[in-house]
Amino acid sequence: MTPFNAICIKYGTLYGPEYVNRLFAGLKRNSSSPVRMFCMTDEATGIDADITCLPLPSEPFKERMETAMQAAPKRGRLQKISLFRPGLIADLIGPLMVFDLDVVITGPVDDLRDHAPGKVCMRHEWSAVKGVPTLGHGSVERFDPALHGYLYEFMATNPEAGVALGGGSEQSYTSLCAQQHGDFEPYPDAWIVSFKLNCRPTRPLNLVLEPRLPAGAKVVCFHGNPKMTDAMDGYRSDPLHSTRPCRWLRQAWTGAA
């Protein structure tokens, strides 16, 4: 059976190993295929032994890329470009799923791997940053290293042009570069949702009703605040942004009943 190949990137101290392990566990619970999980990281301590850890590289074009970022409208993090490197996983056959660590798997994921074969797939962005055009949101991405090596090679050979294309945003760079090659295909919006935009009830109902899980949602993204740890127990903020404790989130993220 063809495995479900997935990779994430972890660096610094913002996310501990439990985020990697829970992502892996969520994928296994929601895939009909064996899950082969990779993590590119600078610290592998505590990561599940069944996850293959890859070193976090220092790219030869890093200095030029970072210099170009100083003039970009968004000074994002472009470490994910290394995930697109051809030959990163020597024996990989077929597509590779990329997940950020601030996502929770909430439904069957096979369609994420199988959607629009041969294309680069991301969800439509919810809202664009001023001056930074984008087609896709980068929390969940699907590409095929055998077909889309240009995602790495363009940035590697001309980082100034790569940064300019994406305006300093990795998701803008990835989606727009794929579009230039005729390869961008969005996922259905209902598959990948935002906790704060799609799950949190509108004010004042957010103060009395539990956040909802939209029908058909396969992945919930926790971009911005709250993060999963806050939302499980109830997020205390101003009246507009506070949420009640979220039982389905606890089960989906930790596996606890």
- Residue 252 pLDDT greater than 70, yes or no: yes
- Residue 116 pLDDT greater than 70, yes or no: yes
Would you state the pLDDT for residue 213? 97
In this structure, which CATH number among 3.90.550.10, 3.30.70.1350, 1.10.10.10, 3.60.15.10 belongs to the domain 4-187? 3.90.550.10
- Residue 132 pLDDT greater than 70, yes or no: no
Q: Of 37-41, 67-71, 128-132, which has the strongest mean pLDDT? A: 37-41
- pLDDT band for position 102 (cuts 50, 70, 90): very high
26 φ/ψ angles, rounded to the nearest 5 degrees: -65, -40
Give the mean pLDDT of 13-39.
Answer: 97
Sheet holding 219-221, edge to edge: 103-105, 219-221, 192-194
CA atoms of 138 and 173, how far apart (whole Å): 10
Check if the beta carbon of residue 39 is closer than 8 Å to that of residue 69.
Answer: no
Where in the chain are the domains? 4-187, 191-254
- pLDDT band for position 56 (cuts 50, 70, 90): very high
Would you state the pLDDT for residue 130? 56
CA atoms of 18 and 24, how far apart (whole Å): 10
User: Can you say whether residue 58 is alpha, beta or left, with left for phi > 0 and alpha for psi between -120 and 50 degrees?
Assistant: beta
Radius of gyration of the chain (CA): 18
